[in-house]
């Protein structure tokens, strides 16, 4: 938000050179679009992405805990029983556990990437705003 406030201040105080009203309007719209894109990302898209990732991670952790409880419940039965029906259930749970662990790893990596590259996205929006401001002042 600091970048938007700074650039709005600079943009509104900038002295416009002799340009046609149509060029000025086009440059102003381009700048407003860049500001809106930034606000949408900062106030809507990023928080929604972070909430979704946090919810998905919590769900995967709950699934993993449930699978581990079910496997522990099967453990006393499998010590004394060598039947095939329980073996298939246990193997299915082990595969499900692996799948859930992989899913959890991917989600945590995505969450870390979202945090790690946030600064780069902010800088990208700042550059778009600066470019729009320069085009406005150049015309």
pLDDT recorded at residue 139: 59
Name which of 114, 101, 98 is nearest 53 in CA terms.
114
- Contact (CB, 8 A) for 107 and 53: yes
Helices 21-40 and 118-138, axial angle in degrees (round to 10)? 170
What confidence score (pLDDT) does residue 53 get? 97
**Per-residue pLDDT at 58:** 98
> Could you report the average pLDDT of every consecutive run of 10 residues in the chain (139 residues)?
52 55 85 91 95 97 96 73 72 95 97 94 91 77
Q: Which residues are within 8 A (CB) of 139 and not within 5 positions of it... i.e. 6 or more apart?
A: 16, 17, 19, 23, 24, 27
């Amino acid at each position: 938000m600091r970048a938007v406030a700074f650039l709005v201040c600079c943009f509104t105080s900038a002295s416009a050179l002799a340009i046609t009203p149509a060029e000025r309007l086009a440059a102003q719209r381009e700048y407003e679009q860049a500001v809106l894109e930034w606000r949408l990302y900062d106030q809507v898209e990023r928080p929604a992405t972070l909430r979704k990732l946090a919810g998905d991670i919590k769900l995967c952790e709950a699934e993993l805990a449930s699978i581990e409880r079910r496997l522990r419940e099967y453990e006393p039965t499998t010590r004394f029983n060598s039947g095939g029906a329980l073996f298939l259930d246990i193997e299915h749970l082990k595969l499900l556990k692996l799948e859930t662990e992989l899913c959890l790893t991917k989600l945590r990596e995505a969450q870390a990437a979202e945090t790690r590259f946030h600064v780069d996205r902010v800088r990208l929006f700042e550059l778009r705003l600066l470019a729009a401001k320069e085009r406005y002042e150049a015309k």
